[in-house]
Amino acid sequence: MIKKNEELSKVYLSPHYFDKITSLARLILTEVMQFRRMMKSEHICDSAACTSCHKPHIAKITEAIMQNKKIRFVLPAFPGKSPNPAKVLGHLPDMGEKKSLVFLNDLCERIQKIYEPGAELIICSDGRVFSDVVGISENNVTAYQVEIDQFIEDADLTALSTFNLDDYVVNNDFDQAREVLIEKYGQDIDTLKERVKKGGQDSATPEEKEMTTMYCGLTRFLVEDLSFPGQTRSRSSIQKECKEKAYKAIIRSNAWTDLIAEKFPEAIRLSIHPQACGAKKIGIQLLGVEAWLTPWHAVTVNTGNGYILMKHAEVQKLNSKLILDEKGRPCHYELIEESSNRPAA
Q: For 34-48, how does the pLDDT look when each residue is reduced to its tens digit (9 = 90+)? A: 999 887 765 567 789
Quick: pLDDT tens for 233-282. 788 888 888 888 899 988 998 899 999 999 999 999 999 988 888 889 99
Q: Give residue 299's identity as a one-letter amino acid code.
A: V
Rounded to the nearest 5°, which phi and psi values hold at 40?
Answer: -80, 125
CA angle 70, 76, 80 (to 5 degrees): 130
The Cα-based distances of 344 to 16, 293, 302, 304 in angstroms read: 48, 15, 11, 10
For β-strands 299-302 and 268-271, DSSP reports them as unpaired
With contact defined as beta carbons under 8 Å apart, do 78 and 127 qualify? yes
Q: Under DSSP, is residue 235 helix (H, G, I), strand (E, B) or coil?
A: helix
> What is the average pLDDT score of the chain?
87
The Cα-based distances of 148 to 13, 15, 114, 249, 319 in angstroms read: 46, 44, 28, 22, 30
Could you tell me which residues come within 8 angstroms of residue 276 by beta carbon, excluding any fewer than 6 positions away?
38, 39, 41, 206, 209, 210
Per-residue confidence (pLDDT) for residue 7, from 0 to 100? 46
Helices (H), the chain: 9-13, 15-33, 51-54, 58-66, 95-112, 127-134, 138-154, 174-185, 189-198, 206-226, 235-263, 312-315
Per-residue confidence (pLDDT) for residue 2, from 0 to 100? 47
Per-residue confidence (pLDDT) for residue 343, from 0 to 100? 55
Tally the C-alpha atoms within 13 A of residue 345's C-alpha that lie toward its C-beta. Answer: 12
Per-residue confidence (pLDDT) for residue 160, from 0 to 100? 98
Collect the ranges in the chain with pLDDT lower than 50.
1-13, 339-340, 345
Per-residue confidence (pLDDT) for residue 4, from 0 to 100? 43
Domains of the chain by start residue, with CATH: 9-187+265-290 (no CATH), 298-345 (3.30.60.140)
Distance from C-alpha of 306 to C-alpha of 287, rounded to nearest angstrom: 10
Q: Under DSSP, is residue 187 helix (H, G, I), strand (E, B) or coil?
A: coil
Per-residue confidence (pLDDT) for residue 188, from 0 to 100? 86
